[in-house]
Chain A
Amino acid sequence: MGTWRRALLHRARVADYAARVGFLPQSERLSERVQLVRLVVCAIGGFAALWLFFYTLSAAFPYLAPGSQIVYRAKLNIEQRGEVFPLNVHAQRLVIFGDSRVLTGFIPDEFDRLSASDSSAVYSFNSGFPGHNDFVHQLKVMAERGQAPDILLLTLPWNDAKKGINPFNIVGDDHEFATKIFPFRFLIRDVIRFLLASRERGGPVQFYAASHRTANEMLENRGYYFIAEHSRFANDRLPEDFLLDADRPGVIESSRARPPLESTELGQLRDTITRYHIACYYVPYYERRKAYAQPPAKDEEFARVIEGRLPCKVLGPRYFSYPPGMFSDVFHLNRDGAKIYTQAIYQLVAEEQAGKH
């Protein structure tokens, strides 16, 4: 060991001992405090610089994100701006809310075509948000912008957030909060997924341009979007004998069946529906056949909770079961499947509307 190093070590030991017994002279103690402040400031400064770097990067390349995310942002944007329904269209306005299953399952063009063939004019919009369930807020915003739908189709229950600050739980949802303060949180994963997917789609530059077009295509399709990046099988069809170990063919899927009985969102939803005279229906979502068992024709318990708390009617079972061939990945329908699902939804709504009149 070199002399200088020995000297340094000795000094460190002396300083350590001196600090422990409180023998440090005032000037040294001050410098320790200054160093502590400097450490904290430098740590925060470095963190902020990196935050800015990643934020700039993600803002500069917004189309590196998965298609479903690009679609989500675009959809949110037009709903916030009140541009979902054109002003010059004289038809019933219909909007369906839900998650990525609705996004990939409901084709507004198909629904409107079926309505037109039954001599009723409907202009529908698919407001499926992948990975998000904040439809109550979106509906409220749309209504406030003069875009309240005449018919509202829902597939998911409301969230259970309650109003007011709870000192024992200030933040609430950490995942949501993290995504808000670190909007680039998925950047690295997105870039890697993007690069992997771009190999089969003409390289990064072409794929980036195609992703750029995705949002416009989705808006042209009035919210419908086919999640191509998850599709791994030929012709976007799962094999008919497709089965996962995780599948529960003997069990009825029930994770979405029990909505929270009291929540701020429930009150907001009820108010919006009543104030804007919206005809509201809970319609089935869908599952892959054999992923879960076929549900009963009507979930009485679910209907009792929904109809007891909202001016909404529950139509049909909790979900439809479709064969794997109608799916492009384990969760989402392909285009053929989406047509069938849209037709089934149309059937339920049309029957209900016909019954009313």
Chain B
Amino acid sequence: MRFNSFQFAFFFIACWTLFLCLRGTPRKILLLVASYFFYMCWSVKYIVLIWGITLIDYVAGLQIEKSETGRRRMYLGLSLACNIGLLVAFKYVNFFGASITPLMRFAGLQQDIPLMHIILPLGLSFHTFQAMSYTIDVYRRRAPAEHNLLNYALYVAFFPQLVAGPIERPNELLPQFHSDPKIRLDLVRSGFAQTLWGLFKKMVIADSVAEFVSMVYQNPRGYGGASLLIATVLFALQIYCDFSGYSDIALGIARVMGYELRMNFRQPYFSRSIAEFWSRWHISLTTWLRDYVYLPLMGERVSIPRHYMSVIVTLGLCGLWHGASWMFALTGVLHGTYIVIGDATRMLRRKLRSALGLEKFPTVVAVWQVFFTMSLVMLAWIFFRAGTFDSGWYILTHLFPLGHFNSLQFPIASLDRVNAVFVGIFTVMMFGVEWYMAHPERIPRAWSINVFRYACYYACVYAVIFFGVFGHADFIYFQF
């Protein structure tokens, strides 16, 4: 079930109405049943995996809490092995097979590892990471084990964040299931507003440009520089609006029910460096990787080379988390390299700015930094989207010269002149609104006038109706 479908709208209205009528355990049971139903709309049989993860980690958490040192480690190992094993079995087995085969050939073995026909369960990487954070935190004594299975099952399967995050932490989400959430008017209002904003980004912007991006990236050799550049810029727009839109909807509907989820995006395209970009993009994943991969890799003794190595390894793993492909890993390593270079040249750049007298023009410097960061991000998106290194390299090396762009190509991708103009206007508006969100002190006074605010909400609702794409494919991050 997609958040941007009528099926979900009906499901949520029914679920929320019942939710408001119930209290205590029946309310939680309702939430859990609704969450399982939500997942089963995608696949009925794979719900067994969710049950499996839930039971294993629930028992592991209890055992870790009450066991001695050696056994604690064993239960943690067991839990991690199950979670990672599940990920490997469903997501990486073919990838490893395909990667090992050439090595075997190189070593003179003529045996091919057969590929398996496996369908990746929806959002597997999200809920396994969330489940792992629970057992690790219990092991590190940062969180108590959850004794109530119903609460723990909700922690794993809570439908707003089940299939594409945010990846929650036990200390933040689990306590919220211990008591009935307070449904407050201001939270309901802000929850619906955020949901609406997410729908706007997903349906009006991301899905409108998706077809053009797809058309060009499926066959980059057929297009000139201008088309490749436009498609690359549009993909950057699409992936941001798609995923941050999803996160907004998830946060919004959870808040309407009285739960708070982690913020996942903080206007990442306004970042002035790649390091800053990663502190604003998919925050729940990057903080997960920071806490459970980067910091353990760094260990006790902090040294610059070890820091650089840890950054590259962590971001390489972050890339691989997105999908079982060397292209994703390459994207991650590329970002890691950006951060390392950025860090290593920080002093030099500061001196250069000072020598050129640019410090007197902080706005110019900021705009340049945002533009440069954005360009580097887009360069990495090329490999992320291209699918193969050949295609990615081709696109990268053929962006210029731009050549001629025939605007008649837009209608082929369901984006005619009028639609294209509106998408442009909405994009500028979207970034404007996001800028205000990042700078709340600059929000115009008109926003505090109820009539104006409600007019904006209704404009947003009807923009979705008038310009939204209905019935489009899933959110991009569902595949991860």
A-side residues, CB < 8 A to B, are 19-20, 22, 32, 35-36, 39, 43, 46-47, 50, 54, 168-171, 173-178, 182, 185-189, 192-193, 196, 232, 244-248, 329-330
- Given A32-B184, A168-B41, A174 and B219 touching (CB < 8 A)? no
Jot down 11 A-B pairs with beta carbons below 8 A, ordered by A.
A36-B188, A39-B188, A174-B5, A177-B6, A177-B470, A186-B466, A244-B408, A245-B223, A245-B227, A246-B223, A330-B411
Residue of A whose beta carbon sits closest to that of B186: A16
Q: Complex Cα distance A232/B227, Å?
A: 21
Name the distance in Å between A237's Cβ and chain B's nearest Cβ.
14
Contacts of B469 in A (CB 8 A): 175
Name the distance in Å between B182's Cβ and chain A's nearest Cβ.
6
- Given A244-B406, A246-B409, A47 and B466 touching (CB < 8 A)? no
B215 part of interface (Cβ distance < 8 Å): yes
Whether the pair B7, A169 counts as a contact (CB closer than 8 A) is yes
Q: Complex Cα distance A189/B418, Å?
A: 7
Which chain B residues in 453-480 approach chain A with CB under 8 Å? 454, 458, 461-462, 465-471
Whether the pair B185, A32 counts as a contact (CB closer than 8 A) is yes
Contacts of A19 in B (CB 8 A): 182, 184
Number of residue pairs across A and B with beta carbons under 8 Å? 93
Residue of A whose beta carbon sits closest to that of B226: A245
Q: Complex Cα distance A32/B468, Å?
A: 33
- Given A171-B5, A189-B419, A46 and B454 touching (CB < 8 A)? yes
B105 part of interface (Cβ distance < 8 Å): no
Contacts of A170 in B (CB 8 A): 6-7, 10
- Given A185-B466, A189-B466, A244-B412, A171 and B6 touching (CB < 8 A)? yes
Whether the pair A47, B412 counts as a contact (CB closer than 8 A) is no
Name the distance in Å between A269's Cβ and chain B's nearest Cβ.
23
Residue of A whose beta carbon sits closest to that of B412: A246
Whether the pair B6, A178 counts as a contact (CB closer than 8 A) is yes
Q: Complex Cα distance A329/B222, Å?
A: 20
Name the distance in Å between A100's Cβ and chain B's nearest Cβ.
12
Contacts of A193 in B (CB 8 A): 418
Contacts of A188 in B (CB 8 A): 466-467
Q: Complex Cα distance A247/B408, Å?
A: 12
Whether the pair A168, B44 counts as a contact (CB closer than 8 A) is yes
- Given A174-B471, A192-B418, A244-B409, A168 and B182 touching (CB < 8 A)? no
Q: Complex Cα distance A168/B224, Å?
A: 43
Whether the pair A175, B418 counts as a contact (CB closer than 8 A) is no
Contact of A22 among B182, B188, B406 (CB under 8 A): B182
A-B contacts besides A189-B418, A196-B418, A330-B408, 13 pairs, CB < 8 Å = A22-B182, A47-B461, A168-B40, A168-B44, A171-B7, A171-B10, A175-B471, A186-B466, A188-B466, A189-B422, A189-B466, A245-B409, A248-B222
Whether the pair A36, B185 counts as a contact (CB closer than 8 A) is yes
Contact of A173 among B412, B413, B461, B471 (CB under 8 A): B471
Contacts of A189 in B (CB 8 A): 418-419, 422, 466-467
Q: Complex Cα distance A46/B192, Å?
A: 15
Whether the pair B188, A248 counts as a contact (CB closer than 8 A) is no
The 9 closest A-B pairs by CB, nearest first: A174-B471, A175-B471, A178-B470, A174-B470, A168-B41, A171-B6, A245-B223, A175-B470, A188-B466
- Given A22-B182, A245-B227, A330-B411, A39 and B189 touching (CB < 8 A)? yes
Contacts of A174 in B (CB 8 A): 5-7, 470-471
Residue of B whose beta carbon sits closest to that of A189: B418
Q: Complex Cα distance A321/B210, Å?
A: 29
Which chain B residues in 394-447 approach chain A with CB under 8 Å? 406, 408-409, 411-413, 417-419, 422
Name the distance in Å between B247's Cβ and chain A's nearest Cβ.
21
Whether the pair A246, B215 counts as a contact (CB closer than 8 A) is yes
- Given A171-B5, A174-B471, A246-B215, A46 and B458 touching (CB < 8 A)? yes
Q: Complex Cα distance A330/B414, Å?
A: 13
Contacts of A247 in B (CB 8 A): 222
Whether the pair B182, A248 counts as a contact (CB closer than 8 A) is no
Chain B interface size range: 35 or more
Name the distance in Å between B24's Cβ and chain A's nearest Cβ.
14
Chain B interface, >50% SS class:
helix
Q: Complex Cα distance A325/B7, Å?
A: 46
Contacts of A47 in B (CB 8 A): 458, 461
Contacts of A175 in B (CB 8 A): 469-471
Name the distance in Å between B224's Cβ and chain A's nearest Cβ.
6
Whether the pair B412, A330 counts as a contact (CB closer than 8 A) is yes
B211-223 near A? 1/0 per residue, CB < 8 Å: 0000110010011
- Given A174-B470, A175-B471, A185-B465, A245 and B406 touching (CB < 8 A)? yes
Contacts of A192 in B (CB 8 A): 418
Q: Complex Cα distance A133/B417, Å?
A: 25
Whether the pair A169, B418 counts as a contact (CB closer than 8 A) is no
Contacts of A232 in B (CB 8 A): 408
B183 part of interface (Cβ distance < 8 Å): yes
Whether the pair B471, A245 counts as a contact (CB closer than 8 A) is no
Q: Complex Cα distance A329/B410, Å?
A: 13
Contact of B222 among A35, A246, A330 (CB under 8 A): A246
Contacts of A246 in B (CB 8 A): 215, 222-223, 409, 412-413
Q: Complex Cα distance A40/B462, Å?
A: 17
Q: Complex Cα distance A39/B219, Å?
A: 50
Residue of B whose beta carbon sits closest to that of A166: B41
Q: Complex Cα distance A20/B186, Å?
A: 12
Contacts of B227 in A (CB 8 A): 245
Q: Complex Cα distance A285/B6, Å?
A: 34
Name the distance in Å between B321's Cβ and chain A's nearest Cβ.
28
Which chain B residues in 245-280 approach chain A with CB under 8 Å? none
Which chain B residues in 341-388 approach chain A with CB under 8 Å? none
Whether the pair B5, A187 counts as a contact (CB closer than 8 A) is no
Name the distance in Å between A169's Cβ and chain B's nearest Cβ.
6
Q: Complex Cα distance A233/B227, Å?
A: 22
Q: Which of B1, B7, B41, B183 gathers most chain A CB within 10 Å?
A: B7
Contacts of A186 in B (CB 8 A): 466
Contacts of A329 in B (CB 8 A): 408
Q: Complex Cα distance A330/B406, Å?
A: 12
Q: Complex Cα distance A248/B215, Å?
A: 11
Residue of A whose beta carbon sits closest to that of B183: A36
Contacts of B412 in A (CB 8 A): 244, 246, 330
Whether the pair B10, A50 counts as a contact (CB closer than 8 A) is no
Q: Complex Cα distance A56/B284, Å?
A: 46
Contacts of B223 in A (CB 8 A): 245-246
Q: Complex Cα distance A177/B219, Å?
A: 32
Contacts of A32 in B (CB 8 A): 184-185
Contacts of B185 in A (CB 8 A): 32, 35-36, 39
Q: Complex Cα distance A276/B143, Å?
A: 72
Contacts of B413 in A (CB 8 A): 246
Q: Complex Cα distance A20/B7, Å?
A: 33
Name the distance in Å between A230's Cβ and chain B's nearest Cβ.
8
Name the distance in Å between A323's Cβ and chain B's nearest Cβ.
17
Name the distance in Å between B317's Cβ and chain A's nearest Cβ.
34
Q: Complex Cα distance A330/B5, Å?
A: 32
Residue of B whose beta carbon sits closest to that of A238: B408
Whether the pair B184, A248 counts as a contact (CB closer than 8 A) is no
Q: Complex Cα distance A36/B219, Å?
A: 52
